[in-house]
Amino acid sequence: MIADLVPDGVHACEAFGDAGPESAVELFPAEEAVVAGVFDERRKEFTTVRGCARTALARLGETPEPLVPGPMGAPGWPAGVVGSMTHCRGYRAAAVAHAAGFAAIGIDAEPQEPLPGVVAARAVTDAERRLLRQDFPAAAELPLDRLVFCAKEASYKAFSAWLGTRFGFRDFTVRLRADGTFRCVPPSVAMPRSPRCAEGFPGRWAARSGLVLTVVVLAAHADAEF
């Protein structure tokens, strides 16, 4: 599913649960140290999503190496590679690409369920709710608040990795489109003033198999867009 959302040049791999071949990879000692003493469920999802990442990296021609979370929690990638991972109930995925063509990738997957009210109030602004009412029919059977949350999570992953800065959900403004795309406007303090930054960066979304999925891919060259 995630492979249908990424552009050419980005390689993705996904797993539904922890029973497939991706779950059988052997962790490096540095990765083992990250999950030492954690619950078995957490260890399984950590292992499987790294199995997905190893498969995707192999498609780039990269050899396996430890993928250890950095100071901001995002996984480290081999030199010359950008990527992103996601996992939620029953689903794990990774997407990678060469840094020569792409500045950063952010992917996210969430269950296709409404957000808890408290979380929705924090993650979705009043302006975004007005846009949802404008852009989606009243009968749309989608958890739109969850989809906005998911789009912001993918945006956070991409821009935090690109700029090396922590952001919050309300730092981003997202406008979903019913055609499976969205625009993400990043924090103004982090980006130069330009028409492109003001109009936002593109993302893609899908709702399939009980999940909502989002992808933000940032081009390495300012004049490119996916």
Of the three residues 82, 107, 132, the one that is the final residue of a domain is 107
Q: Is residue 117 part of a domain?
A: yes
Q: Are residues 55 and 71 located together in one domain of the fold? A: yes
Domain end (from 107, 135, 170)? 107
Residue type present at position 2? I
Are 100 and 9 in the same domain? yes
Q: Which of 87, 107, 127 is the last residue of a domain?
A: 107
Do 81 and 116 have their domain in common? no
What's the predicted TM-score (pTM) here? Answer: 0.92
pLDDT confidence tier of residue 82, bands split at 50, 70 and 90: very high
| pLDDT at position 2 | 93
> 181 by DSSP, 3-state: which?
strand
Q: Please tell me the predicted confidence (pLDDT) of residue 185.
A: 87
Same-domain pairing of 197 and 119: yes
122 is in which domain, residue-wise?
A: 112-213
pLDDT confidence of residue 3 = 93
More confident residue, 27 or 141: 27
Of 7-11, 159-163, 180-184, 193-197, the range with the lowest mean pLDDT is 193-197
> Both 138 and 70 in a single domain?
no
Q: No. of H helices and E strands in the chain?
A: 6, 8
Angstrom distance (rounded) from CA 48 to CA 54: 10
Residues 92 and 163 placed together within one structural domain of the fold? no
CATH number for the domain harbouring residue 91 = 3.90.470.20
Structure tokens at 146: 């969850």
Q: How many domains would you assign to the chain?
A: 2
Same domain, 42 and 130: no
**Residue 87: strand pairing partners:** 92
Q: Look at residue 48 in the predicted model and tell me its pLDDT.
A: 97
The answer to whether residue 9 scores a pLDDT higher than 90 is yes
Please tell me the predicted confidence (pLDDT) of residue 174. Answer: 93
* pLDDT level of residue 198 (50, 70, 90 thresholds): low
Strand order in the sheet with 11-15: 11-15, 91-98, 81-88
Same domain, 39 and 83: yes
Using CA atoms, how far apart are residues 226 and 216, in angstroms rounded to an integer? 9
Least confident of 21-30, 134-143, 189-198, 206-215: 189-198
Per the prediction, the chain carries an average pLDDT of 90
pLDDT in tens, 54-66: 999 999 999 999 9
The tokens for 218 are 């940032």
pLDDT in the model for residue 194: 47
> pLDDT tens digit string along 113-157?
999 999 999 899 999 999 999 998 876 789 999 999 999 999 999
Q: Is residue 137 part of a domain?
A: yes
- 163 and 199: one domain? yes
Same domain, 176 and 190: yes
Neighbours of 117 (CB within 10 A): 9
| Whether residue 91 has pLDDT greater than 70 | yes
Q: Per the domain annotation, does 225 fall within a domain?
A: no
3-class DSSP state for residue 174? strand
